[in-house]
Structure 1
Amino acid sequence: MAGGPEGLRDALWDALLALLPPTKEELKLDLGEEVDRGTVLLLQQAAELFLGGRRGECLQASEAVLDHAWEKLNAGPWQDVGKAWRQAYAFGCLLKTLCLCQPPREATAVSAALRVCDMGLLMGAAILGDILIRVAAVLQAHLVSGKRPDRSPGQELPSTKKARCDHDAAPDVQLERAVPRLRCPSLQHFQKHFLVPGRPVVLEGVADHWPCMKKWSVDYVREVAGCRTVPVEVGSRYTDKNWSQTLMTVSEFISKYIESEVRDVGYLAQHQLFDQIPELKHDIGVPDYCCLGSGEEEEITINAWFGPAGTVSPLHQDPQQNFLAQVMGRKYIRLYSPQDSEALYPHETHLLHNTSQVDVENPDLEKFPRFAEAPFLSCVLAPGEILFIPVKHWHYVRALDLSFSVSFWWS
């Protein structure tokens, strides 16, 4: 497929063109009736301009699509955003990415294009056989191959910095009721004694063979993901008034929140990181016990949790079964049965109805008197260990060290 005048191609450009559908007709999207006709026509026009090699006009048209789609994506609750509008946004990101990379291009064009591509992956929906994942992989490989934009004079190389060694005090879990521990139980034993009755358990030895257990470090994460744009939670916990979310590259996150001497707290909590960056996904496995669920393996949601010591997930519950695998650092975790929900004082608002109002390790017992009577289990989860959190079980999590965890939500 032509995407510009002959003679302007290079290795990156050819690699990107090779990812596109072979015919003009296959480049079109069927967005149904949800997306207004004006936006559909603008998308078609942008595609025609790209195919005609009219880069500047295509860039303008794709940005107009992105502006319109962005308004729709942010007009109300995320769950109410239709898939077609997310696909329109992703298609606009694809065309803008291609326009930025078409030769002759500026020195910073590939980095800018990768940011656009990541926005399409974060906010859009899959199009053309998940083409944005493959485009992002090509762009990242180009940057990693040594063609990154020059750093400004005097800027320190990231690899010369060391992660700060934060350690938060862990409660004495021996004084508390500990979560039981098992080493590689059989599927039948796990199902009978833990899955069916809904009992938490720490599984040892299950993840020992995962490559991440030996490979992952701050430097490794930066090496394979540093140039990728991700959402970052700013603040120690999402119930704080000053909590917010922002977008930055993984390298920027590591420099600001992992290596900085300033005690700012930022947390990379990402539901799409492993789709964005397949190199990381290849380093983990899916616990065999997930096969006991009713869904397919493709329906398992894999989440990344990466941040400094002191980050907290307030006491909350999730609507699915959860395996929390610890890769780097330790976490203190406390669990409460859903039968004791009333004693945990859930927020009354719909947005936070699955989150407790109680500060678990510093509770206001005058305001929440029944909390003191609620029984709980606790553990310190160390690297290589996996905690089974049954569906609807309340859990509170505090990172004791620089931590990277992977969770698997399944039904």
Structure 2
Amino acid sequence: MTPMWTDVKSVLPASGAEFPLCFSEKVETSVLKALELSRDLMYRDPEHPSSADRAQLIIDYSWEKLNTGTWRDVDKDWRRVYSYGCLFKVLSLCNGNPSQSNIQEAIRTCDMSFLMGASIMDDILQKLIFSKTFIFFNMKQKMKTCCASEPVINAAKELTRIYCPSLEHFRKEFLDPQKPVIIEGTTTHWPAFTEHPWSIDYLRTIAGYRTVPIEVGSKYTDEDWSQKLTTVNEFIDHYVIGTAEDGVGYLAQHQLFDQARYNFKIPELKEDIRIPDYCCLGEGDEDDITINAWFGPAGTISPLHQDPQQNFLAQVVGRKYIRLYSPEETPNNPDLEKFPAFSQAPYQECVLGPGDVLFIPLKHWHYVRSLELSFSVSFWWS
């Protein structure tokens, strides 16, 4: 047994009898039988060549169910079936001595489960991909520098980068045609990078005892997602440091500036950032710009969604993987509750690093995953 498979088995139930497969009658008997066969084969003969094919059949069949009608009408059991198919596929890809391409495909499969599936088995796919004590920590070590701390970006799909464009150039090339772009070199004067570099210690000093709202859960589409009030220090101790040390547990993000439904401010932090000059191209004035700050540990996910306004997302600390889809996909997705079939849709992607500012045009769909401890600031403007 390879060390990699030993790590996988440590995440799985000890036997097939302890591996839950409970669904409503909406899931056909034939599908349940395919799931049971995949489970039994995984415990009996995980290297069997049919394992990957059966997993893909489950994924493909459930994918059709996810994309029949509107998203709000999709029964959650079919989202769970999809996630089980993804799990079986990841396990087949990780068996033996997987190649780098298999590892990359396993990571992509996990991401598709986060986008389109539902939580299963106490977020087992989250544990596989994010926990430092489980398999994908070892995978990233094996993949060394190319994949050690970030996804492999497809060069053909990578977002354009530009250094300090003029207002007119930004308007003509990106704002008017509504094209996403990463702007470099416009945040170097922020106190958050110079006079008061943002860090956990700085946040404790400035706002440690302030009570703020947080969002707790692996992603806000899951049933375990919730909101609560806590102090900044409690949030750091329980959700940030605890997550980093344990490698498991809840993922959370922390809003630190204004947010419409909370109307909360930490003025000292707000003094450390600057509104991008490009916002002056909008219709409103500075008071109409909504500023949100986001703070959370590695693994925090924002599932595919749209923002209500144009967005500049500025990265201050850490890095985030972001995937964007054009609003041209929206005819199949008329509101936030109706996520369509995006596996075949064209997209763009990037890793946003400290100092980068991503322009997300109005109604562009985007999926965000923190690759490490992250501070970000978003500016919503019209």
Residues of 2 paired with 1:169 and 1:386: CA distance?
A: 20
Q: Which residue of 2 aligns with 1:292?
A: 281
* Unaligned stretches of 5+ residues in structure 2: 1-131, 141-147
4+ long deviations beyond 3 Å:
164-169, 355-358
Q: Residue 251 of structure 2 aligns with which residue?
A: 265
**Residues 183, 176 of structure 1: CA spacing in aligned structure 2 closer, same or farther, 3 A cutoff?**
same
Written as runs of structure 1 = structure 2, the 5 A alignment for 1:145-294 is 169-214=149-194, 215-260=197-242, 261-262=245-246, 263=248, 264-270=250-256, 272=258, 276-294=265-283
What residue number does 1:402 align with? Answer: 373
Contact 2:257 2:265 in 1 (8 A): no
Q: Which residue of 2 aligns with 1:35?
A: none
1:315–1:355 Cα contact (<8 Å) kept: no
CA separation in 2, counterparts of 1:355 and 1:378? Answer: 23
Counting aligned pairs with the same residue, the percent is 57
272-281 or 307-316, which deviates more: 272-281
Deviation at 1:223, TM superposition (A): 0.6
Tell me the equivalent position of 2:107.
none
C-alpha distance in 1 between matches for 2:254 and 2:204: 13
- Corresponding pairs, count: 230
Q: Which runs of 5+ in 1 are unaligned?
A: 1-163, 347-352, 359-367
Q: Is the 8 A contact 2:323 2:347 kept in 1?
A: yes
2:62 alignment partner in structure 1? none
Letter in 1 for 2:359: F
How far off is 1:267 after superposition? 1.2
Shift of 1:271: 5.0
* Offset, 1:278: 1.1
Root mean square deviation of aligned Cα: 2.3
Which residue number in structure 2 is paired with residue 305 of structure 1?
A: 294
The two structures have a TM-score, normalised by structure 1, of 0.53
Q: Is the 8 A contact 2:256 2:265 kept in 1?
A: no
SS at match of 2:278: helix
Residue 192 of structure 2 contacts residue 272 of structure 2 at CA under 8 Å; is this kept in 1?
yes
Structure 2-normalised TM-score?
Answer: 0.57
Q: Distance in 1 between matches of 2:155 and 2:168?
A: 31
| Pairs within 5 Å for 1:11-160 | none
Distance 1:196 1:331 in 2: 26
Local SS of the residue matching 1:372: coil
Name 1:315's counterpart in structure 2: 304
| Partner SS, residue 219 of structure 1 | helix
* One-letter amino acid of the counterpart of residue 231, structure 1: P
Query: Structure 2 matches for 1:2-13, cutoff 5 A?
Result: none
Q: Which residue of structure 1 lines up, in the alignment, with residue 357 of structure 2?
A: 386
Q: Do the aligned partners of residues 240 and 186 (structure 1) sit closer, same or farther apart at CA in structure 2, a change above 3 Å counting?
A: same
Residue in 1 that maps onto 2:324: 335
